């Protein structure tokens, strides 16, 4: 399937604002590359790694959108999102699916989160430690859906799930991944011992990617994935939602009601500075609300009251 590719130059200082705007208007993926690279095979950075920042003062930023996205309407949406950014140098072209998949597979490396959670791409050998008997290894091909583990929001959630498992709060329980994307968080929960996982996402591509990844990891019998209208109105002892802060606030009642009394909740996709508003939206239902920061992103956790 083809995609619409947007490319534009930016500086290291501007990059977070550009990337935030692109993600907020629906970019499927964002990559960065050195603007002054002479080598034709200069490698890109895919979602800068945990604790890392781009190495270049000037870079080329590339974003992927569905092929049927109108470029002019997209530029209008971006300009309205952040009027202080210059989108006049943006260029567009149509690219094929295999271009993205090949680049991702070339760049992605195994990553460890917490004590025993590993995210390992399909084309990579298990690194030392990931072959341990108690290692929770997710073999992932995120395809087009967001969620490869490298973005701080995903990393924060994976670390939280790993810590819960260490406290004995994952084993034999059911976990809800609200806004599942590639299914990475639900899959990690299953590998950490959850009895079942439920994924919910409003993007049919994310639903397909999650089901595919569940099958490849051999956990499809314990995974269910739904579009929001088809999702069960059940409550769960563990709920994680890695979506935008605005959506977390708007859906506070929906998400809050999915957490069983005494259950644990993690919210991410929150930029630093937005956490107080998110906490306020959940304070009427949750105790022990706490914010944790990684780079410019926050995770809010809490325990459902009563």
Numbered residues of the known binding site for S-adenosyl-L-methionine: 154, 179, 201, 242
- Record the tokens describing residue 296, joined without a space: 């410019």
What is the spatial distance between Cα 276 and Cα 272, in angstroms, rounded to a whole number?
Answer: 9
Q: Is 258 in contact with 236 (CB distance < 8 Å)?
A: yes
CB atoms within 10 A of CB 126: 14
CB atoms within 10 A of CB 217: 18
What is the spatial distance between Cα 215 and Cα 286, in angstroms, rounded to a whole number?
Answer: 34
Binding-site members are: 154, 179, 201, 242
Q: Is 173 in contact with 147 (CB distance < 8 Å)?
A: no
Q: What is the dihedral of CA 104, 105, 108, 114, to 10 degrees?
A: 110
DSSP 4: E
What is the spatial distance between Cα 112 and Cα 202, in angstroms, rounded to a whole number?
Answer: 28
Beta bridge partners of 236: 259
What is the spatial distance between Cα 235 and Cα 255, in angstroms, rounded to a whole number?
Answer: 9
Transcribe 38-56 into DSSP letters.
-STTPPPEES--TT---S-
Nearest alpha-carbon partner for 171 in 179, 161, 159: 161
Nearest alpha-carbon partner for 299 in 148, 155, 181: 155
């Amino acid at each position: 399937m083809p995609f619409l590719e947007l490319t534009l130059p930016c500086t290291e200082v501007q990059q977070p604002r550009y990337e935030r705007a692109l993600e907020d208007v629906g970019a499927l993926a964002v990559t960065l590359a050195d603007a002054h690279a002479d080598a034709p095979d200069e490698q890109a950075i895919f979602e800068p790694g945990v604790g890392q920042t781009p190495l270049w003062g000037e870079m080329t930023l590339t974003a992927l959108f569905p092929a049927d996205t109108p470029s002019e309407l997209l530029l209008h949406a971006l300009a309205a999102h952040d009027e202080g950014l210059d989108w006049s140098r943006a260029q567009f072209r149509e690219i094929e699916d295999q271009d993205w998949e090949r680049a991702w597979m070339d760049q992605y490396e195994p990553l460890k989160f917490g004590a025993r959670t590993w995210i390992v791409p399909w084309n990579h050998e298990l690194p030392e430690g990931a072959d341990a008997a108690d290692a929770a290894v997710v073999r992932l091909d995120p395809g087009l859906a967001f969620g490869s583990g490298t973005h701080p929001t995903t990393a924060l959630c994976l670390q939280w799930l790993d810590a819960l498992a260490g406290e004995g709060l994952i084993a034999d329980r059911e976990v809800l991944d609200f806004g599942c994307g590639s299914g990475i968080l639900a899959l990690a929960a299953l590998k950490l011992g959850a009895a079942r996982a439920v994924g919910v996402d409003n993007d049919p591509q994310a639903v397909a990617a999650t089901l595919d990844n569940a099958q490849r990891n051999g956990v499809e019998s314990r995974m269910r994935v739904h579009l929001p209208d088809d999702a069960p109105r059940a409550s769960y002892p563990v709920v994680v939602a890695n979506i935008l802060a605005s959506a977390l606030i708007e859906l506070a009642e929906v998400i809050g009601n999915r957490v069983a009394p005494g259950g644990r909740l993690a919210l991410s996709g929150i930029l630093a500075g937005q956490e107080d508003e998110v906490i306020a939206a959940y304070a009427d239902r949750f105790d022990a609300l706490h914010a944790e920061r990684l780079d410019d992103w926050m995770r809010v956790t809490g325990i459902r009251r009563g």
